A and B are shown apart, each in its own frame.
Chain A
């Protein structure tokens, strides 16, 4: 089973977390194809990756942002013969031990995309109050627009089938990949399933979104979804 799974890790300045995250993936998901997209890191991320010859490293010459890194990973995935793509953040927030539960619904053919939600069982790291407020607003909006209640729209702990990746790559949402992805997939008729996962607080370094930016991010995401929804977009 594992050889048909590609694990994608977008990484930006993750020298402190990368080794342990990679060991965790090797231990919990043996035989999977691990691909790290180094999104223009300024630290030793590149050197660390060179020390792992069993891992495919894709290096961006400069930082594009999370959306750019995911798009590169998606394009690589479509060049391989892998059937499923599992996305895990390189900052240690997504325990590889939880990954199997994400793959289950894909393998059994019940879903095209599986989102690991930290709010379904309310275990593990639950994010700050500010962010949870923001996520709640997003959830209400997505339930209203999509007609499907998603509890963790901003989760990056996700698994996709090839069909789901193909449907996203056409018009990839670079700026806010997580919530917009859910929107695009749902509009294209992809089956989205959420499974409960435990998340950890990131081990080292800084998150890509600071607390001050949380609500600015939320407003921009809401506007993007509304604009996409009103214009209709490509089905």
Chain B
């Protein structure tokens, strides 16, 4: 006899995981999510789908981790996934902020250079080097 009879929650979690994967693919297709940033999401979505399909896997994982109460293992996995995603986003934001700073700074310098080319009478401090 199957020790894991199909339950409503299992069906719901399979549907939920499928929906997540579907939404991710739609977002990537519409170019609203870059593949580079979707990778972690897809990995976790597929992982959750596998967990939902094979209910014994949770027992197996919690057994390895020494957790007696299986839902606690599930929460731990979920929190770890969210934690990793947030860390990833923080890294991306930091990189973007550095790039934006450089870009804005370069833009201001170029704008000044252009205004000087257009109006040669304007005070120039950099002409002695350029």
Interface residues of A (CB under 8 A from B): 6, 33, 35, 37, 53-62, 64, 67-68, 71-72, 75-76, 79-82, 174
Bound CA–CA A91/B98 (angstroms)? 26
Query: What 5 additional pairs, Cβ within 8 angstroms, besides A60-B107, A80-B125, A174-B101?
Result: A53-B123, A58-B112, A61-B107, A79-B126, A174-B98
In the complex, the chain A residue whose C-beta lies closest to that of B106 is A75
Q: Which chain B residues numbered 5 to 29 have a C-beta less than 8 Å away from chain A? A: none
Residues of A within 8 A of B125 (CB): 6, 33, 35, 56, 76, 80, 82
Say whether B30 faces chain A, with CB atoms less than 8 Å apart. Answer: no
**18 A-B pairs, CB-CB below 8 angstroms?**
A53-B121, A53-B122, A53-B123, A55-B123, A56-B125, A57-B112, A58-B109, A60-B105, A64-B105, A68-B104, A72-B109, A75-B109, A76-B109, A79-B109, A80-B125, A80-B129, A82-B125, A174-B101
Bound CA–CA A35/B125 (angstroms)? 9
Bound CA–CA A56/B109 (angstroms)? 10
Say whether B108 faces chain A, with CB atoms less than 8 Å apart. Answer: yes
Say whether B111 faces chain A, with CB atoms less than 8 Å apart. Answer: yes
Residues of B within 8 A of A72 (CB): 104-105, 108-109
Which residue of A60, A79, A82, A174 is within 8 Å of B108 (Cβ)?
Answer: A60
Q: A76-B126, A81-B128 are in contact. Are A64 and B109 (CB under 8 A)?
A: no
B108 touches A37 (CB 8 A): yes
Bound CA–CA A58/B101 (angstroms)? 14
Shortest Cβ distance from residue A67 to the other chain B in the assembled complex, whole angstroms:
8
Say whether B130 faces chain A, with CB atoms less than 8 Å apart. Answer: yes
Bound CA–CA A62/B107 (angstroms)? 11
Inter-chain contact count A-B, CB under 8 Å? 61
Residues of B within 8 A of A174 (CB): 97-98, 101
Residues of A within 8 A of B122 (CB): 53
Bound CA–CA A59/B109 (angstroms)? 8
Bound CA–CA A64/B130 (angstroms)? 27
In the complex, the chain B residue whose C-beta lies closest to that of A65 is B101
Which residue of A68, A81, A82 is within 8 Å of B105 (Cβ)?
Answer: A68
Residues of A within 8 A of B126 (CB): 76, 79-80
Bound CA–CA A80/B129 (angstroms)? 6
Bound CA–CA A64/B126 (angstroms)? 24
Residues of A within 8 A of B107 (CB): 60-61
Bound CA–CA A174/B111 (angstroms)? 22
Bound CA–CA A55/B101 (angstroms)? 23
Residues of A within 8 A of B111 (CB): 58-59
> How would residues 92 to 130 of chain B score, 1 for a CB under 8 Å from any chain A CB and 0 otherwise?
000001101100110111011000000001111110111
Residues of A within 8 A of B123 (CB): 53-56
B104 touches A64 (CB 8 A): yes
In the complex, the chain B residue whose C-beta lies closest to that of A50 is B115
Residues of B within 8 A of A53 (CB): 121-123
Which residue of A54, A57, A79 is within 8 Å of B129 (Cβ)?
Answer: A79
A59 touches B108 (CB 8 A): yes
